[in-house]
Structure 1
């Protein structure tokens, strides 16, 4: 059976009459991780394998005048040294927006004539031992002639700025607008301005980039830690072979957060394995990973907000500049999300937003959990707090007067078609803080704040996304799920099992899921933008229902009852007759009956998300399938003598529509908050003229359990998400509100608002000193 369905425009009201969904069973991935039996990308080894290393540029902007590989080739144990001339097709072109107005700029697999950032790959080594490969890297002599670089995205916009690429320094210039912002701003009773800056952030996943590749019977296979197995087609182009000659198998990942959405080790493993015809293993050490992997985009966000005297928003004028680094990667898509969400969950009848991705000679920036929509939370929530103070309103009052509701129109011209439970999440988060804490010392100040966020899930609608799944009821009653989904460690595969179990009644222990293999699984698309539950979850739900309907005809005939009266549960298909006696058939018996009658017990199903169009010239059209809303509340203590900010209490509440697995939902929220607090208070991949200041965790600081309090979580279930069984995505939403909530709490403590991230002790002391010297304007800067 092969079937296909399309998404509906709006989700029906949810139900809580579930037996498997809504519970938190210990899935296979829980058990394997606890037992230490789960195999990650670096765990795979093959007989006779070589070890691969990348030779990277130490210059951020230079012309390559010569590459001498002779010494490296002569080193005993070195099997291959590859440069750009050894790459059949040395270009990776990623039109991340789908081609809507962005420049087409190719990224070389190996730099040939020039380098554009520190860490750019120049050559590859394959050797019999990892130590030999590392020694050979040092023997590759690359001669450079320095070129003028550009490291500040605002300076890169200047007419005389050096060009990172001949096509220009602006990759894409998104404009979104509705109404007449200029006229509405002129008529406003108050206009609030603000400038907010965020930083480069490292993904800092537990598992660095890794994998193994080999060639067998003319087919190249890569088993790698990746979020996107569909990179197989790009690998085929690089090798100049047909796509059916490349197979990618995704290992379960020890985290990705978007950092494994672009290719990492894949092209280098492919080239080395293809050239040597031997298995090759490549694992980036932590220093290499921090040096050269993509980062979260730093944003410069400038806001002008106009409102009536009663606080009703009239207009917003917003300008966003994102540092794309040296190559496009996914910057066009990230900056679109920033533009589309720049006004946040508030009604703004008149708005103009400009959002530009700008090339520099910094490390490339790309996908990172929250994907552009999370950076702007810091901007729009700071503006709302400043407007409230300017008008003498409380932060809750200003939001109550402007929050979007179901049916409202957002800046892209779309109407919101699912529930907006912002007030419920805010009430829960604020209540969780309880009584205000007492300062621990004379120089310490306690403050509280909160922030709300609106985060999309799923790809932009104009991509017309789809995902497929293959479900098979085996003759012994067990269920087999095959899907191209990749698992970041958040339970993407296990969630599919719960959904299928709910529909077909197969016990979880009798369900096997095979994922992430381009040769064996139907395509599901990448695991990013909180899309897999939405896409593959809906595919499993629809596919399982179709399979059940097919099987039900046989079961109903056998039991002598209408098909819609059957109950699928605990490995049985049951019915209750008028006397209350249960009669049933085991799934194994039903599968055998179907086989005897020629009824298929398999279903290959493709689910298609709602499609649409976006007009980049008008700045209007379809953007995202749906949104997840939530509110975070924080209590902090600021030591005014040291500038240290200590988070005393933290609460987070999100509307998830319907929980598939409550433990995983809570884990996503708590983990997202920890990552968001690191972004708010300490994490900074600082660069000086393109050179990283830190490439080790010794000086790139991430939060530990010693830095943070318990994260209190409250979940709202509106039953109106667009995911399976009315679920909403929750992988990315918990990151966004953190920085804004912390900034608001610091403002409450010391009387001045931070506008630059991270909010380090040094920056807190600067704010306190500026305030004491009278150089800080009152919060609510206005015209």
Structure 2
């Protein structure tokens, strides 16, 4: 059972479209199966592509013999690194990591002399049929020589360890210094130390990586792909040695991304094959291939040392973070920065030192995943808060209340919290929603409650010069077209743009069409990542709609003989606010504007705040545009005989600024909590000595409907966000507090802490055994 509560604490005004749970404009196509995803597209004369991948996590390639594969009937092309010499996947990463900029990935498209992780691409086979491509890929002969490898960050940092990527295994370092943690620690009454570990996990989206590429009649390489970033056309052009105007990326609707489609996936493989064959080429990863070869969430080991007074006030925090980057860099420097800047959570701590390091290993590479480092940080700092309370013999909620940040307080980076910081309100409402105590139904069953609060930014790092563009135009019949390059990854991004426009121009949603996700034909809107699209493209659309409204309102005020601020728009009608009898059809106003040559469309560019690069010595500065705050509370039952954990009830409370569409917001919160439940209890990409032991959903477990508990979603609206109408981002924050809330509830139930995710039955029983041994 899912329940929604939406109290209007800030007394926000009632609006016509905003704040209403309006149906999704893409819903009918999705529920009827009419919607096409990337893998559904077919073209005449189309080829099917398959990638041959490394069987070793670290090895030299001595020989690649493709002769048998090329001679196999139905094979059109077999491509290796020799077919595109020197080509590499380079994602530019601006900013400063330690004392020098480091390339975003610099990974080869196809390995030539060495492979660095199991599943690395070696060759591409393009064939008339998929089965032929699969069979021919097995005929490619590769001679390997095993090469020394490292599989843990600690091992990779040892002197003399094998080097995964030159010049060394240190991918990124960040050091954050605020106040004097060493001096403050000496004056603390109590020092609490704890180490917390998170695991590799997979995005496990419904739709695996897929795309189709062809060279059009103008010689432009065109790629229709499941992606979160159509702006990859620049990186694709660089890798394939083409001018940027000769690469055109069209994003299909995406069946789940969660960060896994933020990096390039199939684009270079099918693009290279299409260029070489001059025929359309399609590729869809199998589930096994996706689990093996695409990026994972970074595992972290995080150690907290916290100095507190006996009354519960935190006076100092020292945090060390170590992250596994896998074989290539990708977005590790920024995941690490996100984690480091979130290291002490939503608390007032005046003396902080954070040392964070990401290290290359011969594991599958890691990159973006919903939460982007903040989720791992929250797992650690929220368990540490409960451990502080245990050490002081205090209620964990009281320790949090004493230390919650307030507006005007600053993060470890020195960035001030602005607007509403409703941490205590969110925590109290989430906790209260759990209801009365639940009694165990058997002696071996233990019931526990857990709480986790969080802070998480929305919007990209502020030195990225982030921008988004949107075009809004009125047709002669009063319908509206929006053009915006936003990739819709299932979160209703295009629906949000339509709802904003409907509010501004008074046109029903069914009269609005949104064209998106095209690098050539829609204004570029940036990535659907970093919980940024509502904020960035929402504001761009809002500005464009307001500009159109201004032109119309100025002309309408002349026609209706009233002041400009008295004009309003609703239900395809323009009228005077205080006298609705004075009105005119919107179509009549449009005709007048058209006849007089007045603009009925606007292209708007929205620019996010910009700050200079951080000081690499202490990472001080305004890193993020703004923050979302909230809390998660859960009730669990633990079977002390089997170690099984079951979440009985879940309550989430988030301040989203303004819920533009409460149904969509609730969907994000509930989906994020479900994903966080999997993170806490079961999901684990098991990589042992570089070999993935979880190649399918039979081994890699994700939550099913039977695992989802009774759920209550509480939406608070402070109206203080930077998005349209005061909205804040909620896409990523929805996941962040669930796993630590469950971990705290399990510790409450059994009286012992499991410090490593996931909280498997084996680990729970081990913790129980340790406490029983200690007491005996």
TM-score class normalised by the smaller sequence: over 0.9
Q: How many residues align?
A: 762
8 Å Cα contact 2:111-2:120 kept in structure 1:
yes
Q: What corresponds to 1:26 in structure 2?
A: 23
Within 2, Cα distance between the matches of 1:169 and 1:216? 42
Shift of 1:717: 0.6
SS at match of 2:705: coil
Within 2, Cα distance between the matches of 1:410 and 1:756? 26
Q: What corresponds to 2:35 in structure 1?
A: 38
SS at match of 1:335: helix
SS at match of 1:706: helix
8 Å Cα contact 1:451-1:633 kept in structure 2:
yes
SS at match of 2:357: strand
Q: What corresponds to 2:194 in structure 1?
A: 194
Alignment deviations for residues 304-341 of structure 1 (CA, whole Å, 9 cap, x no partner): 00011211111100000110000011111100000000
Q: What corresponds to 1:71 in structure 2?
A: 68
Listed as ranges, the matches of 1:481-520 within 5 Å are 481-520=482-521
SS at match of 1:463: coil
Classify 1:447/1:657 alpha carbon distance in 2 versus 1 (closer, same or farther; 3 Å): same
8 Å Cα contact 2:450-2:633 kept in structure 1:
yes
8 Å Cα contact 1:14-1:720 kept in structure 2:
no
Within 2, Cα distance between the matches of 1:439 and 1:677? 21
Q: What corresponds to 1:696 in structure 2?
A: 696
Shift of 1:427: 1.4
Shift of 1:617: 2.1
Alignment deviations for residues 711-733 of structure 1 (CA, whole Å, 9 cap, x no partner): 21111111111111110101011
Shift of 1:581: 4.9
Q: What corresponds to 2:148 in structure 1?
A: 148
Alignment deviations for residues 658-686 of structure 1 (CA, whole Å, 9 cap, x no partner): 00000111110010000000000000001
Q: What corresponds to 1:377 in structure 2?
A: 378
Q: What corresponds to 2:211 in structure 1?
A: 211
Within 1, Cα distance between the matches of 2:359 and 2:116? 14
Alignment deviations for residues 208-237 of structure 1 (CA, whole Å, 9 cap, x no partner): 000111111201111100000000011111
Q: What corresponds to 1:543 in structure 2?
A: 544
Q: What corresponds to 1:586 in structure 2?
A: 585
Matched, 1:244 2:241: no
Q: What corresponds to 2:438 in structure 1?
A: 437
Q: What corresponds to 1:525 in structure 2?
A: 526
TM-score by length of 2: 0.97
Shift of 1:708: 2.1
Alignment deviations for residues 234-269 of structure 1 (CA, whole Å, 9 cap, x no partner): 111122111111110101111000000000011111
Classify 1:214/1:513 alpha carbon distance in 2 versus 1 (closer, same or farther; 3 Å): same
Classify 1:633/1:518 alpha carbon distance in 2 versus 1 (closer, same or farther; 3 Å): same
SS at match of 2:318: strand
Listed as ranges, the matches of 1:79-90 within 5 Å are 79-87=76-84, 89-90=86-87
Matched, 1:740 2:737: no
- Of residues 35, 49, 57 in structure 2, which corresponds to 1:52? 49
8 Å Cα contact 2:93-2:102 kept in structure 1:
no
Q: What corresponds to 2:611 in structure 1?
A: 612
Classify 1:126/1:438 alpha carbon distance in 2 versus 1 (closer, same or farther; 3 Å): same
Within 2, Cα distance between the matches of 1:285 and 1:151? 26
8 Å Cα contact 1:39-1:252 kept in structure 2:
yes
Classify 1:746/1:581 alpha carbon distance in 2 versus 1 (closer, same or farther; 3 Å): closer
SS at match of 1:733: coil
Q: What corresponds to 2:95 in structure 1?
A: 98
8 Å Cα contact 1:385-1:395 kept in structure 2:
yes
8 Å Cα contact 1:53-1:125 kept in structure 2:
yes
Unpaired runs of at least 5, structure 1:
1-12, 777-783
Matched, 1:650 2:644: no
Shift of 1:169: 0.4
Within 2, Cα distance between the matches of 1:378 and 1:190? 22
8 Å Cα contact 1:229-1:518 kept in structure 2:
yes
Q: Which moved more, 1:406-415 or 1:24-33?
A: 24-33
Within 2, Cα distance between the matches of 1:471 and 1:88? 44
Within 2, Cα distance between the matches of 1:195 and 1:115? 33
Classify 1:224/1:268 alpha carbon distance in 2 versus 1 (closer, same or farther; 3 Å): same
8 Å Cα contact 1:14-1:726 kept in structure 2:
no
8 Å Cα contact 2:90-2:239 kept in structure 1:
no
Q: What corresponds to 2:3 in structure 1?
A: none
Matched, 1:565 2:562: no
Shift of 1:20: 0.2
Unpaired runs of at least 5, structure 2:
1-9
SS at match of 1:489: coil
Classify 1:581/1:668 alpha carbon distance in 2 versus 1 (closer, same or farther; 3 Å): closer
Q: What corresponds to 1:119 in structure 2?
A: 119
Alignment deviations for residues 631-665 of structure 1 (CA, whole Å, 9 cap, x no partner): 11111111111000111111111000100000111
8 Å Cα contact 1:64-1:112 kept in structure 2:
yes
Within 2, Cα distance between the matches of 1:339 and 1:99? 14
Within 1, Cα distance between the matches of 2:379 and 2:82? 46
Shift of 1:585: 2.3
Shift of 1:14: 8.4
Q: What corresponds to 1:135 in structure 2?
A: 135
TM-score by length of 1: 0.96
Within 1, Cα distance between the matches of 2:273 and 2:288? 22
* Aligned alpha-carbon RMSD (Å): 1.3
Q: What corresponds to 2:183 in structure 1?
A: 183
Within 2, Cα distance between the matches of 1:659 and 1:586? 30
Runs of 4+ in 1 over 4 A off after TM superposition: none
SS at match of 1:80: strand
Listed as ranges, the matches of 1:367-446 within 5 Å are 367-446=368-447
Classify 1:547/1:306 alpha carbon distance in 2 versus 1 (closer, same or farther; 3 Å): same
8 Å Cα contact 1:553-1:563 kept in structure 2:
yes
SS at match of 2:719: coil
8 Å Cα contact 1:89-1:240 kept in structure 2:
no
Matched, 1:682 2:679: no
8 Å Cα contact 2:90-2:235 kept in structure 1:
no
Q: What corresponds to 1:6 in structure 2?
A: none
8 Å Cα contact 1:151-1:689 kept in structure 2:
yes
Within 1, Cα distance between the matches of 2:737 and 2:279? 48
8 Å Cα contact 1:576-1:582 kept in structure 2:
no
Classify 1:522/1:272 alpha carbon distance in 2 versus 1 (closer, same or farther; 3 Å): same
Shift of 1:15: 3.7
